[in-house]
Amino acid sequence: MKKLLTYLLFPILLPSVTFAEYREVKDIEFATIDGLSLKLDLYLPDLVEGSTLVIWVHGGAWRRGSKDNPSIKPLVEKGYSIASVDYRLTPVAPFPANIHDIKAAIRFLRAQANEYGYENDNFVISGSSAGGHLAALVGVSNRQPVLEGVVGNYLEESSDIAAIVDFYGASNLTTILKQSTPHGLSVRQPALDLLIGGQPEDVPEMAKLASPVFHVDENDPPLLLIHGDQDPQMPINQAHEIHGIYKQLSLPVQFEVIHGGAHGGKAFFDEERLALVDGFIKTHL
């Protein structure tokens, strides 16, 4: 009886549930175009049916990088399914090929939900740097034909996204160079030449089409921004711009500034920030 009273007065605190065991399914072809095979990797938690799928878009100045080792992979231990997708890089094909490929991956993933066991609705998209820019653009361009493309075999499926998690991505290519440090300019100017076929002032309509801020409307999904205030490559003003537009439209938005944070690093993907991502997704989905 004494033990029972002790348990009632001082209940045992159970640890939060984690799913350390998961399986990986690598190099799943989701589309082919011009003889190029586009692939993705899946990380699927054990014992979780109907998990939320987070789609990861890698960075690399739009011209390099790969789907290997996604930074948000630890979220699988919290019960999320992760899909890390490849897309055509700018030395192969300029914008909007990358957006068309990512939307093709989303349609494929929705069509294959029963096969792999995640929920086929309420997809989350996330990415870092150039991948954060692409993730945001995909998320705020739901049902826009010019950015939808016709890549892949599941054109009847939706490419809609229910939430966006943007790690230090661009939002406005028409202002990014004015906001950049000399180091940032050395990275961004040649990258933009490959991405949109010139500098923004020379191809203004293409720069706008590739800028998430020009696509935001009242129907867009919740947005979480995570950006360092000392980023030498991607100006934090890029996050401020899209944050401001979301606020103007009274859309759900959260902005996490990492003080002293540069362009990526462990601080962006530590347990504290991944818990923030987890909480944001659970709040809005």
How confident is the model over 82-110, as pLDDT tens digits? 999 999 999 999 999 999 999 999 999 99
Which of 146, 162, 63 has the alpha carbon at shortest distance from 106?
A: 162
Which pLDDT score is estimated for 6? Answer: 39
d(CA 285, CA 279): 10
Residues of the chain below pLDDT 50: 1-16
Asked whether 192 and 198 are in contact (CB, 8 A), the reply is: yes
Which of 204, 241, 200 has the alpha carbon at shortest distance from 223?
A: 241
Query: ∠169-267-61 over CA atoms, to 5°?
Result: 30
Which pLDDT score is estimated for 12? Answer: 39
Asked whether 93 and 54 are in contact (CB, 8 A), the reply is: no
Query: ∠24-25-30 over CA atoms, to 5°?
Result: 145
Q: 163-175: string of b/e by CB count within 10 Å (b at 16+)?
A: bbbbbbbbbbbeb
Which pLDDT score is estimated for 9? Answer: 42
Which pLDDT score is estimated for 49? Answer: 79
Residue with tokens 């992979």: 73
Which pLDDT score is estimated for 210? Answer: 98
Specify the CATH class of 27-284 in words: alpha beta
CA 67 and chain centroid, separation? 12
Which of 191, 211, 201, 92 has the alpha carbon at shortest distance from 140?
A: 211
Which pLDDT score is estimated for 21? Answer: 86
Q: Give the global pTM.
A: 0.92
DSSP secondary structure string, 186-242?
Answer: HHHHHHHHHHHSS-TTTSHHHHHHT-GGGT--TTPPPEEEEEETT-SSS-HHHHHHH
